[in-house]
Chain A
Amino acid sequence: MPRTDTADLASAENELATLAEVVASEIALDWTPAAGFWEGCREHELRVPICNECGRVAWYPRVACGHCLSEHFTWEATDSSPRLYTWTTVMFQFIEALKEHLPYASGLVDIGIDSPDVNVRLSFILPTSYQLVIGMEMTPVFIDVGQVTVPMFVPTGQP
């Protein structure tokens, strides 16, 4: 549903920013293999680890490459167009920090990396005001919350 109402626009942006704050407070940033991802987010890039030995994409980030067991990766920015892979509307409190934000939409975007053996997908959270259809293009939005930059995804063309 295209939005034209400016009040709605502002409200959606506010909701998104509020959710980003909750996400920022919940993300476990201390998992070393993923450090390069969060560094990329701070520079507003989605980066994935490429194995220095065999050149394959590793996802999720790993201690060792799933093919050659190398422990050395180079983080590279992706040049992709994320698409909605699936989603659900969560109506029930499972996560304490999100209890004030029910219901919310959560799901997966496929980053669309052309790799023969790895699908790079990321979870997202959105207010339920967005119209979601699987396969639709999603635009990454990087929201800075203190020291953390949270990668969010919104349907392209919706605020």
Chain B
Amino acid sequence: MDRKRQAGPLRSGDDMSSAIVGVGETPAAKVSEENLESLIVRACREALDDAGLRPSDVDGIVIEGAVMPKEFPADRCEEVLGLHNVELQLGVSKSGAGVVGSLGVAAEAIRARRAEVVLSYFGVDWGTQRRTGRGAGPANARVGEPRIEAFERAFGYWPQVVWFGGLAQRYLETFGRPESDFASWVVANRENAATHEHALEREPLTESDYMDSPYVAAPLRRADCSLLNDGAGAMVVTSLDRAADCRRTPVGIAGVGTGHNETLGRSSIVLDSEILHTGAATATQVAMRSAGIGLDDVGFAEIYDCFTIAAILQAEDMGLFEPGTAGQMAGKGVTRFDGALPINTHGGLLSNSFIVGMGHVIEGVRQVRCERGDGQVTRSSVGLIAGYGGAESSTAVLVAI
């Protein structure tokens, strides 16, 4: 396979231009009493309040480009929030890669003076959808696509958790590792979640509890799967100049990179020459080069963890751990909020809530702003935020300024 994974076009350049100045998040709920619109409005209002900005200040909306435009498009957000001054409206990539990639696009738009205050949001009511039998969000993804209907679903190789079960099995066999590696990751993740006031799963989980969790697509167990819930998050990005006038300490967007798998589309985890590789390697290299930092500078990371194996593969691709060792490192406490390299300090999608990467960005901002209380990491001035979207990955470098 001679085709190289390409660095994507999204990067905020060598000189930092923008910062996240506000974040907002509804407490996640397995099933919320509020509808999606209400959740998103609340998250956006909280983010604007956090920044000390008003709806009339917002002149750009940049959101994840696959799920959000269907569930809650930007023009609806403009309408319900009264964003009369929006001139730039963009959807970016897909899923976690889109949420994190939005930071790069927002930063570029601000640098190019196409916008000055950019709002980004993500929200889902997948908990409600599942409860009311309207499907279960991502679990029914891609039904009806001809490649999948002809070659995968009919043979039982579907849905997402099954594909990730295949990744997990190949990982364990390739590196000769035991399932307890996954347990170690999840146990540490749950310890992190316990420090977060909004995490849906805060009860301690032991390795033995993990092993009692039923298999869904072995070796993946229920405890390896993301939550499915209702919730929303939002963030406000603006220029460094404007950021100086905002209410809170700005968190710099020092670099954003994207990386693609060889095979675009969902089939990358079926047809890539090595399905254990994600776009996170290239995305992270580009982001760090852009930010002018190295791995030694990284104090913590928030990594999209739709399944345990997804987080492990990205963490290794990002260079945070040697291939095949992430679980062992988690078992030594490295990924705990008080460990040597804290990862998913809010509990991620596995234990906090599934708002598709927005929770990771918000947690990164709160860590850099040193407001995470019991879950505060020690080296908080540089964090990596990795978003995964199947065939595409994005990584952002957030820094204290």
Sample of 21 A–B contacts (CB below 8 Å): A27-B154, A34-B150, A60-B267, A87-B166, A88-B166, A88-B169, A88-B217, A89-B217, A90-B217, A91-B218, A95-B153, A95-B156, A107-B157, A107-B169, A116-B2, A118-B271, A123-B156, A124-B155, A125-B156, A125-B157, A134-B169
Which residues of chain A come closer than 8 Å to B3, judged between CB atoms?
117
**A residues engaging B (CB < 8 A)?**
23, 26-29, 31, 33-34, 59-60, 85-92, 94-95, 98, 104, 106-108, 116-119, 121-125, 133-134
Which residues of chain A come closer than 8 Å to B210, judged between CB atoms?
none
Give the contacting residue for A90; candidates B162, B167, B168; CB below 8 A: B162
Interface status of B146 (Cβ within 8 A of chain A)? yes
- Residue in chain B with minimal CB distance to A115: B1
Give the B interface residue count (CB, 8 A): 40
Interface status of B173 (Cβ within 8 A of chain A)? yes
- Residue in chain B with minimal CB distance to A34: B150
The reply to whether B150 and A31 form a contact with Cβ atoms under 8 Å apart is yes
The reply to whether A28 and B166 form a contact with Cβ atoms under 8 Å apart is no
Which residues of chain B come closer than 8 Å to A106, judged between CB atoms?
155-157, 162
**C-alpha spacing A121/B271, complex, angstroms:** 6
Give the contacting residue for A98; candidates B156, B215, B217; CB below 8 A: B156
Which residues of chain A come closer than 8 Å to B146, judged between CB atoms?
28, 31, 33-34
Give the contacting residue for A86; candidates B153, B161, B170, B271; CB below 8 A: B170
Which residues of chain A come closer than 8 Å to B245, judged between CB atoms?
none
Q: Which residues B190-221 have CB closer than 8 A to chain A? A: 214-220
**C-alpha spacing A89/B151, complex, angstroms:** 18
**B residues engaging A (CB < 8 A)?**
1-3, 139, 146-147, 149-159, 161-162, 165-170, 173-174, 214-220, 267, 270-273, 275
**C-alpha spacing A128/B297, complex, angstroms:** 47
Which residues of chain A come closer than 8 Å to B162, judged between CB atoms?
88, 90, 94, 106
Which residues of chain A come closer than 8 Å to B174, judged between CB atoms?
134
**C-alpha spacing A33/B170, complex, angstroms:** 30
What is the minimal beta-carbon distance from A115 to any residue of chain B, in angstroms?
9
**C-alpha spacing A27/B147, complex, angstroms:** 10
- Residue in chain A with minimal CB distance to B275: A86
What is the minimal beta-carbon distance from A142 to any residue of chain B, in angstroms?
14
Q: A107-B166, A119-B273, A121-B271 are in contact. Are A90 and B156 (CB under 8 A)?
A: yes
The reply to whether B220 and A116 form a contact with Cβ atoms under 8 Å apart is no
Which residues of chain A come closer than 8 Å to B150, judged between CB atoms?
27-29, 31, 34, 60
The reply to whether B153 and A60 form a contact with Cβ atoms under 8 Å apart is no
18 further A-B pairs in the complex, CB-CB below 8 A; given A33-B146, A108-B157: A28-B150, A31-B149, A34-B146, A34-B150, A60-B150, A86-B169, A88-B165, A88-B218, A89-B217, A90-B216, A91-B214, A95-B158, A117-B1, A122-B151, A123-B151, A124-B155, A124-B157, A134-B173
Which residues of chain B come closer than 8 Å to A124, judged between CB atoms?
155, 157
What is the minimal beta-carbon distance from A95 to any residue of chain B, in angstroms?
6
- Residue in chain A with minimal CB distance to B147: A60
- Residue in chain A with minimal CB distance to B274: A119
- Residue in chain A with minimal CB distance to B149: A28
What is the minimal beta-carbon distance from B191 to any residue of chain A, in angstroms?
27
The reply to whether B267 and A88 form a contact with Cβ atoms under 8 Å apart is no
**C-alpha spacing A133/B174, complex, angstroms:** 11
Q: A60-B271, A108-B270 are in contact. Are A123 and B217 (CB under 8 A)?
A: no
